[in-house]
């Protein structure tokens, strides 16, 4: 069985930082990325897959009270014996809370309404079953956020087959799936160059990471996230399992390129959250998956439709993205157009909605 891990990075207190060190709340990042304000339409639920850890409702209530946003409705769904179990694993708890708080706050910022969050807890052996359960859930989630994964070369064929069947079922049900591209650069923590799975699946939107510097509501700069000696960098590269999908016609080579899009992930420009009763600043591409999942849910509310496989639509109108052409993730540099460090770049929410409404 592949070892699957959560993709989060905590800011190390007292660690040597470069000239920047700041933090944001998810609604601030949503504003910087111009998430559209959508006040009409049917609210959409957001599914989140968790393979460990848990959340405390009191922490969620406290967090949203401080933000001045409506607190989300969070439901727990048990798959294969998985359950909400906070306190046993601080890293897993950090992942669960990051996912919930980022997705819910970004959605509420855009809609003014409480987010509907369905958290599917499963053991690692039940990863594919959790995705299928989300796709078939009565709340009909518009989107599913995944912040767990492992180097693609570690996955066995039966595991990949089960996951791909689950993603196909999700897309057929109208549920768009987003996954973190990894936090260990172009190597994904292995020797050589490796993409991360499930982000490398052609049926998933892969979410890479950036370093975001902003002043007020204005972005000053943004580059591929790479902390160098501090150890974190956005995942990205090329699959060894999956051929290049039709929507990546302009991508070099013959294999699936990762990521598709990016957003703020650097823990030194990370997200203020509450975990196990304590405020923390957390980053990682695991923050980008729920952030962009919230955007997809907002777009679904605005357009009145669920998208399922969304990549084809995104690659057709790259003008809806702000290109990132600075930085690298190790082996790959950010450059003009799609690249295996930041993908198409950062989606501009209002532009993306306008493109979908054409």
Q: Which domains are seen in the chain, by residue range?
A: 5-10+17-356 (3.40.50.200)
The pLDDT-based confidence of 221 (bands split at 50, 70, 90) is very high
pLDDT reported for residue 167? 98
pLDDT reported for residue 69? 97
The backbone torsions φ and ψ at residue 168, rounded to the nearest 5 degrees and listed phi first, read -65, -40
The backbone torsions φ and ψ at residue 279, rounded to the nearest 5 degrees and listed phi first, read -65, 140
Neighbours of 192 (CB within 10 A): 10
* Residue 242, CA distances (Å) to 11, 180, 199, 339 in order: 34, 17, 11, 17
The pLDDT-based confidence of 183 (bands split at 50, 70, 90) is very high
The whole-chain average pLDDT of the chain stands at 93
Predicted confidence (pLDDT) at residue 47 exceeds the cutoff of 60: yes
- Residues with a catalytic annotation lie at 95, 99, 286
pLDDT reported for residue 88? 85
Predicted confidence (pLDDT) at residue 229 exceeds the cutoff of 80: no
How far apart CA 202 and CA 197 sit, in angstroms, is 10
Longest dimension (CA), the chain: 50
pLDDT reported for residue 3? 65
Name which residue leads in pLDDT, 291 or 2. 291
* Residue 113, CA distances (Å) to 80, 287, 329 in order: 32, 21, 37
The pLDDT-based confidence of 7 (bands split at 50, 70, 90) is low
Write the CB contacts of 312 (distance below 8 Å, at least 6 apart in sequence): 246, 247
Question: What is the pLDDT averaged over residues 230-239?
Answer: 91
The pLDDT-based confidence of 20 (bands split at 50, 70, 90) is very low
Q: What is the pLDDT of residues 264-312, one digit of tens each?
A: 999 999 999 999 899 999 999 999 999 999 999 999 999 999 999 999 9
The pLDDT-based confidence of 2 (bands split at 50, 70, 90) is low
How far apart CA 148 and CA 82 sit, in angstroms, is 15
Q: What is the pLDDT of residues 55-67, one digit of tens each?
A: 999 999 999 999 9
How far apart CA 147 and CA 87 sit, in angstroms, is 19
Neighbours of 134 (CB within 10 A): 31
How far apart CA 213 and CA 268 sit, in angstroms, is 10
How far apart CA 144 and CA 101 sit, in angstroms, is 15
The pLDDT-based confidence of 228 (bands split at 50, 70, 90) is confident
DSSP assignment of 170-197, as one string? HHHTT-EEEEE--SBGGGTTSSS---EE
DSSP 274: E
Predicted confidence (pLDDT) at residue 239 exceeds the cutoff of 70: yes
Tokens 């999908």 locate to 245
Q: What is the pLDDT of residues 79-132, one digit of tens each?
A: 999 999 998 898 899 999 999 999 999 999 999 999 999 999 999 999 999 999
* Residue 13, CA distances (Å) to 21, 242, 312 in order: 11, 40, 41
Both structure tokens of 250: 């302009």
The alpha-carbon radius of gyration of the chain (Å, integer) is 18
Both structure tokens of 273: 């959250």
Question: What is the pLDDT averaged over residues 191-218?
Answer: 96
pTM of the model: 0.95
The pLDDT-based confidence of 4 (bands split at 50, 70, 90) is confident
**CA angle at 313 for the pair 308 and 319, rounded to the nearest 5°:** 145
The pLDDT-based confidence of 11 (bands split at 50, 70, 90) is low
How far apart CA 164 and CA 204 sit, in angstroms, is 9
Angle (deg, nearest 10), helices 157-172 and 127-135: 10
pLDDT reported for residue 23? 92
Are the beta carbons of 337 and 241 closer than 8 angstroms? no
| Least reliable range by pLDDT among 12-16, 120-124, 129-133, 169-173 | 12-16
The number of residues in the chain equals 358
Q: What is the pLDDT of residues 184-203, one digit of tens each?
A: 999 999 999 999 999 999 99
Instruction: Please state, for a pLDDT cut of 70, what percent of the chain lies above it.
Output: 94
How far apart CA 351 and CA 358 sit, in angstroms, is 11
């Amino acid at each position: 069985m592949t070892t699957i891990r959560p993709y989060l990075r905590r800011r190390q207190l007292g660690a040597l930082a470069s000239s920047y060190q700041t933090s944001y709340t998810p609604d601030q990042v949503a504003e910087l990325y111009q998430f559209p304000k959508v006040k009409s339409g049917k609210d959409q639920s957001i599914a989140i897959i968790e393979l460990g850890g848990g959340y405390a409702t009191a922490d969620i209530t406290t967090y949203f009270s401080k933000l001045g946003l409506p607190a989300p409705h969070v439901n727990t769904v048990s798959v294969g014996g998985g359950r909400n179990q906070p306190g046993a694993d601080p890293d897993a708890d950090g992942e669960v809370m990051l996912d919930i708080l980022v997705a819910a706050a970004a959605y509420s910022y855009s809609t003014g309404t409480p987010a509907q969050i369905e958290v599917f807890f499963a053991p690692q052996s039940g990863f594919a079953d959790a995705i299928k359960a989300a796709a078939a859930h009565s709340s009909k989630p518009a989107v599913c956020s995944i912040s767990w994964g492992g180097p693609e070369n570690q996955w066995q064929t039966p595991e990949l087959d089960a996951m791909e069947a689950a993603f196909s079922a999700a897309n057929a049900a109208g549920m768009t799936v987003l996954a973190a591209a990894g936090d260990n650069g172009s190597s994904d923590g292995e020797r050589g160059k490796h993409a991360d799975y499930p982000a490398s699946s052609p049926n998933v939107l892969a979410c890479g990471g950036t370093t975001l510097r902003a002043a007020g509501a204005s972005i000053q700069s943004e580059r591929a996230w790479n902390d160098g000696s501090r150890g974190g960098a956005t995942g990205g590269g090329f699959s060894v399992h999956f051929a290049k999908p039709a929507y990546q016609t302009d991508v070099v080579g013959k294999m699936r390129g990762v990521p598709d899009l990016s957003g703020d992930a650097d823990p030194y420009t990370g997200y203020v959250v509450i975990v196990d009763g304590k405020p923390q600043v957390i980053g990682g591409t695991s923050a980008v998956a729920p952030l962009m999942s919230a955007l997809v849910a907002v777009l679904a509310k605005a357009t009145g439709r669920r998208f399922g496989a969304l990549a084809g639509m995104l690659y057709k109108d790259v003008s809806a993205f702000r290109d990132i052409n600075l930085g690298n993730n190790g082996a790959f540099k950010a450059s003009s157009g799609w690249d295996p460090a930041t993908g198409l770049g950062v989606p501009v929410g209002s532009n993306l909605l306008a493109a979908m409404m054409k």
